[in-house]
Amino acid sequence: MNAKANKGLVGRFLSHFEKGSVDELLDMLSNDATWWVNGKPHLFAFAGLKTKAEVRPALDELFAFFNGGLRMELKSLIGEGDMVAVEARSYGVTKSGRHYENEYHILFRFRDGEIVEVREYTDPMHAVEVLR
């Protein structure tokens, strides 16, 4: 697939993410996909490298914190070859009424129309503070 098609897949991915549609998100990942989030896993449960199988419980736990999902504002999108880089900002309200806004840089790598790698850079300490 070309960069334009891969950018379209990222748009679909972010749409599923906003809705908390875990099954649809996982369907976009190859069976050997990995998802890495910056941070120290002993301080931030979502940090570290996860396989596709390990991503499901992490996403279920993440989306369980929020009322009405987590809106993602796309700030920039750049694609070349099998890679797409995204700059985004999230907005959400937790079930306890706390406001969550975080910044992201996410790098996606594709193979045959599937996501094989996600590398997510965010502010893990903000997440820990709001989601505790």
If one counts the domains in the chain, the total is 1
pLDDT at 131: 80
Q: How far apart are CA 74 and CA 55, in angstroms?
A: 22
Most confident of 45-49, 78-82, 92-96, 124-128: 78-82
Instruction: Indicate the pLDDT class of residue 128, thresholds 50, 70 and 90.
Output: confident
Q: Residue 68 pLDDT > 80, yes or no?
A: no
Check residue 47 and give its pLDDT.
93
What residues make up the domain containing 124? 3-131
For residues 122-128, average pLDDT: 89
How far lies 106's CA from each of 14, 68, 79, 103, 120, in Å? 11, 22, 12, 10, 4
Closest C-alpha among 119, 103, 127 to residue 45: 127
Query: What is the domain-level CATH number for residue 30?
Result: 3.10.450.50
CA dihedral 63, 60, 132, 102 (to 10 degrees): -50
What's the confidence (pLDDT) of residue 84?
98
Pairing of strands 83-94, 66-80: antiparallel
Q: State what percent of residues in the chain have pLDDT above 90.
A: 81
Concatenated DSSP letters for 108-126? EEEETTEEEEEEEEE-HHH
